[in-house]
Structure 1
Amino acid sequence: MTAMTTSVRPFSSLLGHLGGERRAIAATIVLVVVSQVCLGAISVLLAAAVGHAVVHHSAPSDWFWALLAGLVALRAALTWGEMDASHALAFRVLARLRMALFDRYAVALPTKRRENVGRAASTAMSDTERLEFFYAHTVAQLVAAAVNALLGLILLAVVEPRLALVTLTGLTLVLSTVPLGRHRLEALGGEMVEATGALSDRAVDVLGGLREVLGYGIHGPVRRQIRETGAAAARAAGRLETTHRVLAGAREAAVTLVGVGVLVGVIGRGVAAEHVAALIVLALATVSPVADAAATCARLPALRAAATRVGEELARPAALTRDTPPAALPEGPLGLMMSEVGFGYDGRRVLDGFSLRIAPGEHVGLRGASGAGKSTVVALASRLWDPDSGTVALTGSTTSEVAISAVDDNELRAALATVEQDGALFTGTVRDAIAAPSTTDAEIEDLLARLGLAGTVTPGSHIGEGGLRLSGGQRARLRLARAVLHRPRILILDEPTADLDEASARLVTDLLGTVPATMLVVSHRHQTLAAMDRVVDITSREASEGTKKARRARNHAGHAARER
């Protein structure tokens, strides 16, 4: 019982993520059960008709053919309905599982250490595809086989108890193949899923870093790794398939024994000759679906391994905590406050007591040495991570601060936009990649012109996967354009001009000066920081106060002194 509970738990634990599809699963089970019973009844009736024709040299009565025709029509309708329902259910199950994973990744994948997402991607793509078939087809098949076997045994017990006993013995032999080799199947199934998952992980890594693979000439070692990983997956799959074939032979032998046993049981037992064929077919129709179900059960370890992986991904601890009930954002311009923030990982303290206050509408620059924690400040201010200590809050012009963790995520994302240095652009046109729902092509074209992209990029230009058809500088400016077009109240930028030449950087700086949002800009570039209202040095955590006018005056004085 414990072993069975352990075997079923990975599948049952995912039911909560399928929502209303549980009713559809139940309806599909009913369709398959009735369809399976109809098929058995048709087979038995046809065998009875053959027996009647052989013994009596005449066809059955008209009512018999009417009954048979009705069952055939019903079976055809049920088969069509079951195929339609199960295929639609499979796609909905796939969508449900993937959306559940996406929702979990949204709060769990921005971990303290930016991890390789190859496993997450392969789980979302490969493992969920294995499970869609299980919930849409396999469960119904197993239940239908059990119901069909029970009805067949009851009918045989009523007609000829000895044949019911023979059939029950055959069922026992068939079912005995399920635990046979279970541990080997478990091991090989898990090994195959892990190997294929590792292959997917490696493929995701290589495709994501294809330029580096080619640029550094490491395609040889990469190909060797993929070949070795693929060979390991193939070996595991081969051993698993060999085990399945051995067990399939054992099941076929058990089914054959049932047929022989029933034939021996009816000979010389006073069973009417015209009923012999029908009884043999009834016994076989009782056992055969169970044999198919046993074959399915033998393949469950691989599915169970996939379900376990999906369950583990869905159980990832959240990187963010959600305060309840959610608090409303202040009206009007928003400010940002970080108070005594501490953050670290792997025993390393990245921030310790860091504080920063940005007034609504203020543009603040952030500078510091590499490793000082600038990107960590961006992640905390963007609420990709929660601090280990201290608070991050949003402020209004006239209201007290609201903890960023207390704001509804959808409301927060509509008010706050972050442009990371290595941010992604999705495949499609420029319009698809950067436009907000209400953005017009005229607005896109105007913004592209202000960023120096007019003539080279249009709203309808295809950017390729991840923007591969664009230069690094074009991608950087389009990421900024995407944020600006969404009209955030707070805009956080991580090195927005790092990939740009002087002229393009000046265009970006000029554009930022016209954006009405509160702004936090991380940059090493003096030209970019000079356009800010003030600059904070994260290394010393001291604000370098002063207006842009005073800073320019100091710069001018320094230049004059050097010239003298």
Structure 2
Amino acid sequence: MTALGGHVQADSAGPRPMLVLLRLLRPMAGPMLWTGFASWAGWSSLMAITVMGAWGVGHAVVLNTLPPAAFWWALGLAVTGRVLLTWHEMDISHALAYRVLDLLRMRLFDSYAAQVVEGRQAHSGEAAATALTDLEKLEFFYAHTIAQIASALLTFAVGAVALSLLDPAMGAAVVMLGALLMASGLFLRGRLTQAGQDQQEETSRLSTFLTDVFGNARDILSFSLTDRIVAEAELRTGRISRHERRAALLQNLAEGARDLLTVGALLAVLLLGLRGAVAPELMAAAVTLAMMSLAPLIGAADTLGRLHPLQASAARVAAQLEDGALSPASRERTDDGPADAPGRAEPSRPPAAAWGIRLRGLRHRHPGRGELRYPEITVHPGEHVAITGPSGVGKTTLVNLVSGLWRPSAGEVELIVPDSALPGRSPQAIPEAELRARVAVVDQESRLFRGTVAQNLRMRAPDGLLPDEELEIALRAVGADGWISLEDELGETGLRLSGGQRARLCLARALVQRPALLILDEVTASLDAETEAGITGLIRSLECTVLTVSHRASTAATADRVIAL
């Protein structure tokens, strides 16, 4: 199942991706600086209010007198300033957040557009996760978190200087404790970053995997891959859970270290205050100033310890923006290959004996659309039969009934198995593994999975195991070996290829299993005449039973017999 949910891991080691995106935000430099200043002013006003309040209490308790009137005016102005600054910071930071998000999304969408123009396209699951989840995380970081960290450092510096003027020993102690707190933000940071990266990469792989699954549901049912899909989804979910538990454990250890340092800082400040180097009426203010200087730094250290998910998000966004062009070798393979019918390669495994089809009294009712009735039809083993008719007559429904994807409302579909004790069996009576191994369906909606050509071709093989020689034979059989190789990446649903190229590879994927019955539903509908001729010539050369549904007279004309519904 490696062809489903393939993912290219982005390099998120270190802060480089975050710096790359920061350079993209240079037009936002002015608003970002002003937001940082407003955040610092808000913190400073809060510090002033708290320290003034502590001084007022100390003055009243020690000197047994209320502070002078100027104190109350200053305290009132500080409170008013704090309220206004808080409102202003919220206003400008939210405006900045929308502008940052808009700029990053525009750059990202420009990158997606360039990839489409160049014949490439990002996987839709990855693109959605990057454009929505990752950018919203980064928007908050660049619009809010950077300003908060910068203002915390500046507030700490101002507080430490003020405290040093009051008591140099206490000021030096606060500087040392602040350095330890910031270092605690880097405690286990390497392991936290790796755990966060692993978790996010696995989550991204699961998102991509599920996008492929839901987008290729019919092919997955046709290939009988349901059990393998469920098993792989459970495996990926288990990996995510393990990474989450590991990241949570490391985060708890880092937070515990910061909590111990915070308690130690409080005790150290209190012990230094008891030395008597500061006047008694200023003691409460000095201790409060020390703790208010360290408070924003504690928050900044905690933020630094939680940057690992953001680094992974930044790496994914940067990888999308910096996605390079296709290699020259990939660009050279742009034609549909030879238009004439390719020669049939000798298989290294004997093909299965051809199966026939018998329809008797077959009817199928679609809710709200009436009942479809089919004539008596017999397709002999090895015969090539074309089914034609106007839209809505039930051609695709017949494909689903014969292949066993649907059950008929009435009547019988029998698959004729030569040399069998029960030569005529309904698709539902045949074991699922045998049915999917012997009946192959290719239609105009058939998709290629994200991954390499080899991974796509092996989807049809039992347990996904086939030697490369078998796959090369299939590529030669459909005339694709001249313009693509087994190692080439196809991208999501094979969008890097033309319609004719996708049709040839889908047909090669069906031929890999050596089907006894090949059902083709409008596989030439979107092809030009030259490519159609090549595909129909190939189909005509097959020895298995072929049931072709087509509205094109030129496609139907290559069959042994044409049945009009």
Same fold (TM over 0.5): yes
What is residue 269 of structure 1 aligned with on the other side?
276
User: 1:286: Cα distance to partner?
Assistant: 1.0
- Residue 10, structure 1, aligned to residue 22, structure 2: no
- Residue 32, structure 1, aligned to residue 56, structure 2: no
How far, CA to CA, are the matches of 1:166 and 1:537 in structure 2?
80
What is residue 99 of structure 1 aligned with on the other side?
106
2:27 to 17, 20, 35: 20
How far, CA to CA, are the matches of 2:308 and 2:158 in structure 1?
29
Q: Decide whether aligned partners of structure 1 residues 253 and 524 sit closer, same or farther in structure 2, where only a CA change above 3 A counts.
A: closer
User: 1:143: Cα distance to partner?
Assistant: 0.2
What is residue 321 of structure 2 aligned with on the other side?
314
Q: Decide whether aligned partners of structure 1 residues 103 and 184 sit closer, same or farther in structure 2, where only a CA change above 3 A counts.
A: same
User: 1:69: Cα distance to partner?
Assistant: 1.6
Q: TM-score when scaled to structure 2?
A: 0.56
Read off the aligned partner of 2:65 and give its amino acid letter: S
Asked whether the equivalents of residues 28 and 82 of structure 1 are also in contact (C-alpha less than 8 Å), the reply is yes
1:75-100 residue CA offsets vs partner (Å, 9 max, x unmatched): 11111221222223223322222221
1:185 to 172, 179, 192: 192
How far, CA to CA, are the matches of 1:178 and 1:151 in structure 2?
21
User: 1:124: Cα distance to partner?
Assistant: 2.1
What is residue 286 of structure 2 aligned with on the other side?
279
How far, CA to CA, are the matches of 1:240 and 1:302 in structure 2?
10
User: 1:313: Cα distance to partner?
Assistant: 1.0
Asked whether the equivalents of residues 130 and 316 of structure 2 are also in contact (C-alpha less than 8 Å), the reply is yes
1:345 to 290, 306, 330: 330
Asked whether the equivalents of residues 10 and 304 of structure 1 are also in contact (C-alpha less than 8 Å), the reply is yes
Per mean C-alpha deviation after superposition, the further-off stretch among 303-312 and 171-180 is 171-180
Read off the aligned partner of 2:57 and give its amino acid letter: V
1:427-459 residue CA offsets vs partner (Å, 9 max, x unmatched): xxxxxxxxxxxxxxxxxxxxxxxxx99xxxxxx
2:229 to 222, 226, 239: 222
**Overall identity of the aligned pairs, in %:** 32
User: 1:74: Cα distance to partner?
Assistant: 1.2
Q: Decide whether aligned partners of structure 1 residues 222 and 129 sit closer, same or farther in structure 2, where only a CA change above 3 A counts.
A: farther
How far, CA to CA, are the matches of 1:369 and 1:41 in structure 2?
86
Q: Decide whether aligned partners of structure 1 residues 370 and 288 sit closer, same or farther in structure 2, where only a CA change above 3 A counts.
A: farther
Q: How does 1:34-113 map to 2 (within 5 A)?
A: 34-109=41-116
What is residue 415 of structure 2 aligned with on the other side?
none
SS at match of 2:276: coil
How far, CA to CA, are the matches of 2:206 and 2:15 in structure 1?
27
1:327-367 residue CA offsets vs partner (Å, 9 max, x unmatched): xxxxxxxxxxxxxxxx9639867468x9xxxxxxxxxxxx8
Read off the aligned partner of 1:239 and give its amino acid letter: R
How far, CA to CA, are the matches of 1:104 and 1:93 in structure 2?
17
Asked whether the equivalents of residues 192 and 247 of structure 2 are also in contact (C-alpha less than 8 Å), the reply is yes
Asked whether the equivalents of residues 182 and 301 of structure 2 are also in contact (C-alpha less than 8 Å), the reply is yes
2:140 to 113, 133, 153: 133
Per mean C-alpha deviation after superposition, the further-off stretch among 14-23 and 300-309 is 14-23
Asked whether the equivalents of residues 206 and 237 of structure 2 are also in contact (C-alpha less than 8 Å), the reply is yes
How far, CA to CA, are the matches of 1:266 and 1:251 in structure 2?
22
Q: TM-score when scaled to structure 1?
A: 0.56
Q: How does 1:348-497 map to 2 (within 5 A)?
A: 350=335
User: 1:307: Cα distance to partner?
Assistant: 0.9
What is residue 169 of structure 2 aligned with on the other side?
162
Asked whether the equivalents of residues 181 and 258 of structure 2 are also in contact (C-alpha less than 8 Å), the reply is yes
Read off the aligned partner of 2:96 and give its amino acid letter: L
Q: Decide whether aligned partners of structure 1 residues 95 and 222 sit closer, same or farther in structure 2, where only a CA change above 3 A counts.
A: farther
How far, CA to CA, are the matches of 1:41 and 1:114 in structure 2?
55
What is residue 363 of structure 2 aligned with on the other side?
none
Read off the aligned partner of 1:199 and give its amino acid letter: L
Read off the aligned partner of 2:104 and give its amino acid letter: L
User: 1:539: Cα distance to partner?
Assistant: 7.8
2:304 to 297, 308, 311: 297
SS at match of 1:58: coil
> Structure 1: which 5+ residue stretches go unaligned?
321-342, 355-366, 372-451, 454-471, 474-492, 499-521, 530-534, 541-554, 559-564
What is residue 240 of structure 2 aligned with on the other side?
233
SS at match of 1:46: helix
Asked whether the equivalents of residues 15 and 22 of structure 1 are also in contact (C-alpha less than 8 Å), the reply is no
> Structure 2: which 5+ residue stretches go unaligned?
1-11, 344-390, 393-442, 445-497, 504-521, 535-553, 558-565
SS at match of 1:54: helix
2:205 to 198, 201, 205: 198
User: 1:213: Cα distance to partner?
Assistant: 5.6
1:251 to 258, 263, 280: 258
Per mean C-alpha deviation after superposition, the further-off stretch among 150-159 and 227-236 is 227-236
What is residue 447 of structure 2 aligned with on the other side?
none
How far, CA to CA, are the matches of 2:531 and 2:250 in structure 1?
65
Q: CA RMSD in A?
A: 3.9
User: 1:121: Cα distance to partner?
Assistant: 2.9
Aligned length: 357
User: 1:537: Cα distance to partner?
Assistant: 6.9
User: 1:295: Cα distance to partner?
Assistant: 1.0
How far, CA to CA, are the matches of 2:334 and 2:107 in structure 1?
33
1:152-191 residue CA offsets vs partner (Å, 9 max, x unmatched): 1110111110110111121122122133212212211211
How far, CA to CA, are the matches of 2:247 and 2:308 in structure 1?
10
Query: Which structure ranks higher in relative contact order (CA pairs < 8 Å, sequence separation ≥ 6)?
Result: 2
User: 1:269: Cα distance to partner?
Assistant: 2.2
User: 1:212: Cα distance to partner?
Assistant: 5.2
1:449-472 residue CA offsets vs partner (Å, 9 max, x unmatched): xxx99xxxxxxxxxxxxxxxxxx9
